[in-house]
Amino acid sequence: MKKELILTNDGSHSLFIKKLNETYHSIHGSIAEANHVFIRNGLQFHPKLNINILEIGFGTGLNALLTLLNLKQKSVNYTSLEPFPISDKIYNKLNFHNLLKSNKETFIKLHNSDWDENVPITENFILNKLKKKFQYFNSSEKFDIIYFDAFAPEKQSEMWSMEVLNKCYYFLKPNGFLVTYCAKGVVKRTLKEVGFIVESLDGPPGKREMIRALKKES
């Protein structure tokens, strides 16, 4: 599907897919949204220093870059699924590193790193990208955090099904959690049916709420 580079309200890029009439990030700000949902309410909320993260939707690489830039004392093993990677022509134009005042080579390395391999991006950030859909993902590893960054339910309904969210629950460690920008009632209900404890949190710019869903230690 053809992807068009666009600017969001905080000056950061996103991608627009005309066929789906959908953007990769909020038009109110790609960096603002990712920072709020996945960093403040995800990475920084977890008390552990050594963290396994599973990202569903590598996309532009923004969540991975922000995680790497906000590690502080933490070390992260970062597994990311992306069945439809963007091309080098696109990711070389993205302006995230400029706005974040980070190293462009580090951002490009996230995209250029080999698939299906553990690649040390820095000494405390190991990336493993898998070119597959979550439905076909399997792992002996369990995760502390899931960044659930699929397209919206009305655009990609199969990703918000009971089957998929139950699989997320399975792959989380006790006291692990899932974070997502989506806060639709049907998603909350499905997460609760699966067994999650669902928190409705203040949303990023342009959204009233977001979700953090906890797998309680049994």
Q: Which tens digits make up the pLDDT trace of 125-147?
A: 999 999 999 999 999 999 999 99
Number of domains in the chain: 1
- State in Å, rounded, how far the first CA of the chain is from the last one: 43
In a domain, 108, yes or no: yes
In a domain, 5, yes or no: no
Return the percentage of the chain with pLDDT > 70, whole number. Answer: 100
- Which residue carries 């905080």 as its tokens? 10
In a domain, 6, yes or no: no
CATH number of the domain residue 188 falls in? 3.40.50.150
What pLDDT shows up at residue 200? 97
In a domain, 67, yes or no: yes
Residue-wise pLDDT for 89-123, tens only, equals 999 999 999 999 999 999 999 999 999 999 999 99
Domain containing residue 81: 29-214
Angle between helices 62-69 and 104-112 (to 10 degrees): 130
In a domain, 16, yes or no: no
In a domain, 14, yes or no: no
Mark residue 38 as left, alpha or beta (left: phi above 0; alpha: psi -120 to 50; beta: remaining). alpha
Residue 19 has pLDDT above 90, yes or no: no
What pLDDT shows up at residue 205? 95
In a domain, 189, yes or no: yes
Q: Which residues pair with 77 in a beta bridge?
A: 52, 126
In a domain, 1, yes or no: no
Closest Cα partner for 89 from 171, 4, 20?
4
